Structure 1
C-alpha cells in the first residue's frame, strides 16, 4: 500500500504543470503584500512622486481620524438627548463619509495620473487594499 501511495505521489509531482495557469491567474496564488507596488515596475521618478503622495495622504488620514474622534463625541451627545435626532445623526455620519470618499478619490486620481496604462491594469488588481476603511 505504501508503494502505491508513493507512486501516486511521484506521478502527481511529475505530471504537475506549473505553466498551466496564465500569468494573471498565477498571480492570485503568489505572495502579495498589502500596498506593494513592486510589480508595477515604477521608474525612480514615479517612486518619489508616489512616496510624496503617500506622505500627504497620511496627513489627510490623520486629520480624518481627528474628525472621526470629534464626530464620535457629537454622536454620543446626540444619543443621550431626550429626543433622538435621526436627521442630525445621519448628517454627521454622512459628512465623515463624504470626507473619506474625497480623500480616497484624490489619492486615486493622483496615482492614476502617475501610472502608465499597463501599470494601471496591474494596480487595479489590488485597488481594494488602498481604500480607506
Structure 2
C-alpha cells in the first residue's frame, strides 16, 4: 500500500479503515472482530450498518420463500385437480381442470398441412 497514514504523514499506511477507507499506519489502527477502523465512531457506524443490512436480507429472503411456496402449492393443486378429474372420473372438477382443458384444446387444434408437391 503506497499511501501515507492520514494522521501521520511520515508513516506508510498498512491498511485502510473498513468504514471510511482512510489509509492508516500500525499505530492508528483499531482492530476489532468486524475489521480494521480508524476510530470507534467508524466501528459503531459499520456495526449499525451491518445490523440493518442483515435484517433486510432476512426479510427479502423470507418474502421470496413465501412467494415460491405459494406458486409451488398452486401448481400442486392444479395437478391434483387434473388427476382427480381425469382418473377419478369426478365430473364436478371438469370445469376447473385447467390441464385437461389445455390438453383437449391441443388435441382439437388443426395440424399444419405441408405444402403440396415441388411445383
Q: TM-score, normalised by structure 1?
A: 0.29
Q: Which has the larger radius of gyration?
A: 2
More strand by share: 2
More helix by share: 1
